[in-house]
Amino acid sequence: MGEFTFTKMHTLGNNYIYVNLFNESIAEEDLTSTAVSIANVHTGIGSDGLILICPSTEADVKMRIFNSDGSEAENCGNGLRCVSKYVYDNKIVNKERFTIETLSGIVQVHVHTQGNQFLEVTINMRKPKLRRKDIPMLGFEQNEVVAEPITFGSNTYTATLVSMGNPHIIFYVDDIEKAPLTTLGPIVETDSRFPNGINVGFVQILNETELQYRVWERGSGVTQGCGTGACATVVASILNNYMKKNTLVTVHLAGGDLKISWTEEGDVFMTGCAHTICKGTYYYKIN
């Protein structure tokens, strides 16, 4: 039997179990099974997955993300915000501007504080990738997919694809409450044209600075929020001429709001909060 201390955190209701590998250890071969078992609401703690806060040779800290099905993800916007709060609150970093290494690259972080208390954080999510090969989607690898008809089953939908270090497909709907989240979501996520799977987002445009967004996350299903998805949605909405660059867009998710902007220089910035839920010790079976 193994054990480690954990912190459960959420932002926008998207909750993960965070483990500080500066102090704790989990064997590499146990990570997938631990992520699955820890996420189980009946026999584990219950979460959208497991996030590890690790030492890094390239940045101030490193983040690894495991979905509730045990798969490892390239990036997670909500996870980045929680990691930012954790390392600042626990003095792993002693500055308000620092870097976090992810599987998709290094991001820059700016923690906003009041009296040394964490308020929210702005993260430079870097430049989006738009070519099919960068999503990836099989087909004409150099082409971008913007407002392109794509058939799933017997129905054709208009879709836009964006990678924020992880893959997103965006569909526009007239009423977010009627979006086929649980029906179309799992079909698209596992479509063979997306060899790494894909996050499936549905968007209702409210005006030039606001939109509604719901998501079926790859490896986790329906979640209350997705930070990289919110970024991808704003990029897609600008590409589809619903919005303009250098505009601060409010993205309304099921769990709350994020502020997103895509600058003329090409970087996407995300601002939002993060919250600690509880701390404890988890006991797990060693493989």
- What positions carry a catalytic annotation? 76, 226
Handedness of CA 135, 185, 247, 63 (dihedral sign): negative
Helix/strand/coil for 40: coil
Of 284, 287, 286, the residue nearest 38 (C-alpha) = 284
Q: What is the DSSP string of 79-147?
A: HHHHHHHHHHHTTSS-SSEEEEEETTEEEEEEEEEETTEEEEEEEE----B-BGGGTT-SSSTT-B-SS
Q: What is the DSSP string of 190-213?
A: T-TT-TT--EEEEEEEEETTEEEE
How many CB atoms sit inside 10 A of residue 154's CB?
5
Beta-sheet strands, E only, within 175-267: 199-207, 210-217, 221-223, 249-253, 256-262
Angle between helix 227-239 and 77-89 (nearest 10): 130
Tokens of 160: 């836009």
Residues β-bridged to residue 257 = 252
Chain mean position to CA 279: 22
Q: By the 8 A CB rule, do 215 and 226 touch? A: yes
Cα–Cα distance measured from residue 57 to residue 115, given in angstroms and rounded to the nearest whole number: 30
